[in-house]
Amino acid sequence: MSTADQGAGSQDGPGGVPLTEPAGGTPPVITDVAGLREACARLAAGSGPIAVDTERASGYRYWPKAYLVQLRREGAGTLLVDPIPLDGELAPLAEILGAHEWVLHAASQDLPCLAELGLHPPALFDTELAGRLAGYERVALGTLVETLLGYRLEKGHSAADWSRRPLPAEWLNYAALDVELLVPLRGKLEAELAGQGKLDWAHQEFEAARTAGPPAPRAEPWRRTSGIHKIKTARGLAAVRALWEERDALARGRDRAPGRVLPDSAIVNAVLADPRTDAELRALPV
């Protein structure tokens, strides 16, 4: 049985040791340039690659921006950076991050919002992608950490509204834990890929992910409206499109997730009800 097969088999076991807080405690959030410069000096004095993660507010906000950036490096500890009050004043961070390899999990999810902040990796190691290449069927961060390192990460705030301020202490603890073991996980996966003769292949895949750029916009995204299969006529589809586009414009202007402006179900139900007047449309339940 291969190492990957052994890991897959152990995922149904009793579980690893619960990891409830970072080794050095949850650090304070950096919100000003002076604090950022001090943090960057700590990063520069550390060694090895830098673990990087972000927290967004998907499901709450329209724009997929980073509302928290988590960093960890050997010798520097964990840093939590709030890019919102810094308002683009991230040059010291861009300089240090631009000189060292990043370790991310599912890099394609984080790289676009980090690029919006002017942060670009010169090289990266994606632990999710590495897990797939090594043969693991389940490559969630918590699963790989438990399988390869024997610790269990407590999950529960990934879908939270990270645009909220102030951020609750338990959320910050969760965010800090997301980078706590990324570098040790990188080491385990790198050794496994090397043993399987896949390390060069993996580095090519990491480079492709690093240079891929943002995904192209979807063609006719309104067709992904949940429940659209219930609409059987061209007129009905045109109505879905009109409502979807109006909702999208409102959501974009308010920076709110479209589903929080008007759920997909309300769009579909309105089209099925086929109201004849504005009053009839407004009277429909949401």
Task: Tell me the per-residue pLDDT of 88-134, one tens digit each, with 9 for 90 and over.
Answer: 999 999 999 999 999 999 999 999 999 999 999 999 999 999 999 99
Cα separation of 63 and 241, whole Å?
Answer: 21
In a domain, 82, yes or no: yes
Residue type, position 110, single letter: D
- Whether residue 157 contacts residue 171, with contact meaning beta carbons closer than 8 Å, is answered with yes
**What is the identity of the amino acid at 3?**
T
Residues 238 and 268 in one domain: yes
Please say which residue of 211, 244, 263 terminates a domain. Answer: 211
**Rounded to whole angstroms, how far apart are CA atoms 237 and 230?**
10
135 pLDDT higher than 90: yes
Task: Inform me whether the pLDDT recorded for 198 exceeds 60.
Answer: yes
The closest alpha carbon to 40, from 88, 87, 98, 85, belongs to: 98
The answer to whether residues 135 and 276 belong to one domain is no
- State how far the Cα of 198 lies from the Cα of 155, in Å rounded to an integer: 30
pLDDT tens, position by position, 232-263: 999 999 999 999 999 999 999 999 999 999 99
Could you say which of 211, 246, 267 is where a domain stops? Answer: 211
For residue 216, being part of any structural domain is answered with: no
pTM reported for the whole predicted model: 0.89
Q: Which of helix, strand or coil describes residue 185? A: helix
Q: Is 92 helix (H, G, I), strand (E, B) or coil?
A: helix
Give me the pLDDT at residue 42, please.
96
- 7 shares its domain with 115: yes
- Same domain, yes or no, for 206 and 233? no
User: Which of the listed residues 162, 188, 211 is the one where a domain comes to its end?
Assistant: 211
For 99, residues 6+ apart whose C-beta sits below 8 A from its C-beta are: 122
Tokens of 250: 């409102």
CB atoms within 10 A of CB 24: 11
Residue 225 domain flag: yes
DSSP character at residue 143: H
Do 71 and 177 share a domain, yes or no? Answer: yes
- In whole numbers, what is the pLDDT of the chain averaged over residues? 93
